Amino acid sequence: MEERSSCIFECALAPYGVFTGHRGGTMNENQMQSFAAAVEQGSMSKAARDQFLTVPSLVHRINTLEAELGYRVLNRGQQGVTPTPEGERLYRAVKQALSILAAAKAEPHPTDEGSHAISVGIWWRIPPHFLNAIEEIDLRERGIYLDYVSMNFNEAAEGFDRHVIDLYLSTRSRELEERGLRYVPMTTATYQCVFAPDSPLAQRGCLTAADLRDITVYAGADYRDMPDLAVSADAQELFAMDNVVKESIFSEKLIQDCAQGTAVAFFPRIGLANELAHASALGKLDSRPMAWPAVSTGAYLADNASLEAVQLVEDVARICRKA
């Protein structure tokens, strides 16, 4: 769904002279909806209520959007928010894109008639182990198709509350487990620190928090929420450091900064090969494991998840265990 909405958005942009910026970013449907709500409501707090989000979650979406585009789209003030001139053009394009996307969703797909949709929440990219397992399952024979929705941990909790997603692919999360959601483990991963090959870190066999005190660390989240790392004093120490960025960073910027030696980043071992392949156009990268325990990756299931969703998750877990 994210790829489809990005393509639709790109098509809708052209007549308004709006471009995705020198950073090469694309806008997803969540960002479109949050930006449109902020313009229409004239207030971040009202827009957050309209989107069933917390204010920090909505602000994060807008900030990420502006970082990807490379320019401001909203003026912030004590009286609320208003679109910048670029934001006004962007708003018109977004409204058209959302209208086209809504019409596309409403159209019956000839191969999907009588099929059951399963909404899968993902953060950044679909985990490779999940994709590999899905290739072994005949979804059409089961009468199901998958609809992927991009969201972070906080948005996933809200997504379950709003019945937007049936399952969420992630590492273990204390917040999600405290909600009583069922977790199905699929595989394990060790976290790797990725950096420029000429970095002094390349001389180390295993890295700790002490090795990363003097450089920007792109983490994407606060890993102290992960039960598997709660027992690691080193992980707890690192995520208490001020130089750790605990929010999502546009992938091209993240990898480029790592290649230039101005930052390092974390990837689970299972996804590292894809990220390093993606980085080849921007520069070579190296990596070393963190001195942390292995973490479990799997899926959280909604309380009202369909039998088809439950069976799918259990089958993927079984395939992953055999791999």
Which residue type sits at 56? Answer: P
Q: In this structure, are 301 and 168 located in the same domain?
A: yes
Q: Which two tokens stand for residue 229?
A: 């790392």
Burial of 135 (0-12, 13-18, 19+ CB in 10 A): exposed
pLDDT of residue 108: 56
The predicted model scores a pTM of 0.64
Q: In this structure, are 9 and 72 located in the same domain?
A: yes
pLDDT digits 0-9 by tens, 17-46:
444 433 334 567 788 889 999 999 999 999
Q: In this structure, are 19 and 98 located in the same domain?
A: yes
Out of 50, 79, 106, pick the residue that ends a domain: 106
pLDDT of residue 49: 86
**Residue 111 covered by a domain:** no
What is the distance of C-alpha 190 from the center of its chain? Answer: 19
Q: In this structure, are 121 and 91 located in the same domain?
A: no
Nearest to 25 by CA among 198, 242, 254, 221: 254
- Chain mean pLDDT for the chain: 81
Residue 265 pairs in a beta bridge with 194, 218
Query: 70 by DSSP, 3-state: which?
Result: coil
Q: Is 128 within 8 Å of 270 (Cβ atoms)?
A: yes
pLDDT digits 0-9 by tens, 59-100:
888 888 887 777 889 999 888 999 999 999 999 988 988 888
Domain count, the chain: 3
Greater model confidence, 124 or 184: 184
Q: In this structure, are 150 and 214 located in the same domain?
A: no
Other Cβ atoms closer than 10 A to 127: 26
Beta strands in the chain (DSSP E): 74-77, 80-83, 116-122, 144-150, 167-171, 182-189, 191-195, 216-218, 244-245, 263-268, 286-289, 295-301
- 282 has a pLDDT exceeding 70: no
Q: Which two tokens stand for residue 314?
A: 């259990």
Task: Give the residue carrying structure tokens 């989000």.
Answer: 53
Q: In this structure, are 62 and 199 located in the same domain?
A: no
What CATH number corresponds to the domain at position 82?
A: 1.10.10.10
pLDDT of residue 264: 93
Q: In this structure, are 62 and 35 located in the same domain?
A: yes
Q: What percent of the chain has pLDDT over 70?
A: 81
Over residues 184-198, the mean pLDDT reads 90
- Give the structural domain span for 196: 191-293
pLDDT of residue 223: 83
Q: Is 270 within 8 Å of 129 (Cβ atoms)?
A: yes
Q: In this structure, are 96 and 32 located in the same domain?
A: yes
Q: What phi, psi does 226 have (nearest 5°)?
A: -90, 115
Query: 218 by DSSP, 3-state: which?
Result: strand
Q: In this structure, are 65 and 214 located in the same domain?
A: no
Q: In this structure, are 195 and 288 located in the same domain?
A: yes
**Residue 89 covered by a domain:** yes
Q: Is 118 within 8 Å of 147 (Cβ atoms)?
A: yes
Q: Is 163 within 8 Å of 301 (Cβ atoms)?
A: no
pLDDT of residue 25: 45
Which residue type sits at 303? Answer: D
Q: What phi, psi does 25 have (nearest 5°)?
A: -80, 160
Q: In this structure, are 274 and 156 located in the same domain?
A: no
